[in-house]
Amino acid sequence: ETGVTQTPRHLVMGMTNKKSLKCEQHLGHNAMYWYKQSAKKPLELMFVYSLEERVENNSVPSRFSPECPNSSHLFLHLHTLQPEDSALYLCASSQAWTGLANVLTFGAGSRLTVL
Amino acid sequence: DQQVKQNSPSLSVQEGRISILNCDYTNSMFDYFLWYKKYPAEGPTFLISISSIKDKNEDGRFTVFLNKSAKHLSLHIVPSQPGDSAVYFCAAILNSYSGGGADGLTFGKGTHLIIQP
C-alpha cells in the first residue's frame, strides 16, 4: 500500500463506547497529524507527532487520546464522546521541519457519528 | 477569529471557462500558501503552493496569484474541466523559512467548485 491509510472509513458509536481510529503511512515521513473536519468549519488541527513525540495538542478534550507507537502508525482513541464530536477525522503525514516542502499527505478520513 | 478566509462556500462555473477561487488572510506573518483539493470520500490532496517572495506560480491549468499588500490570494483554473469539481481549501503557514512545520498550517473553510457541462 502507498500513501496514508485510515481505518475504519465509517464508525458509528454510542456516547459510552470506546473505539479507536487507526492511521498508517507508507511514505517514510516522520511527522503525523490528526485533523477534525466539521461541517462548515475549517480543518482543525488536533494533534501533531514529530519523530514519535507529541509536539502539539490544540486544547483537545481528554476524551480524545492519541497514540503514536512508531513513525508509521498513529491512533486516536475515543472514549465517552459527545454527539458534537461527529465529524470527519483526517490523518496526515509530512516530513517535519522541511521548510518550503511542508505539504501534508492526507488519508481519506474516518467518518465518525456519535449517537 | 479566522485567520484564513474563503468567503464563497460554493462557486459554479461552466466547463471551459475560468474558475477563480479567492482566499483572504489576516496575519501578515504568513509566508507560504497552499491550495488543497478534496473530492468526496477522499482526503485533501496538495494542488499548488506559493511563497511570499513570489506573486505568481503556475502549474499547467492552475495558477495561484498572491497580493501581499491586500493579503489576498487566488487560484485560477483555465480551462475548467468536470474533474475539477471538488472542494478547494486555502492554507497558510507561519514562518516557513525559519523551520515552521506543517503543524503551523492554518486552513480556510473551503470553497465547493462545481463545473457545469
CA neighbor of B42 nearest in space, from A10, A96, A108: A108
Q: Does B2 touch chain A (CB under 8 A)?
A: yes
A37 strand-pairing partners: A88
- Along the 115 residues of chain A, how does pLDDT read in single tens digits? 569 999 999 999 988 889 999 999 999 988 899 999 988 788 888 998 887 778 777 789 999 999 999 989 999 999 999 999 999 999 999 886 555 555 789 999 999 999 9
- The CA-CA-CA angle for residues A9, B102, A2, to 5°, reads 45
CB atoms within 10 A of CB B23: 25
* Closest Cα in chain A to B96: A99
In chain B, the percentage of residues whose pLDDT exceeds 70 is 91
| Contact assignment for A100 to B41 by CB distance below 8 Å | no
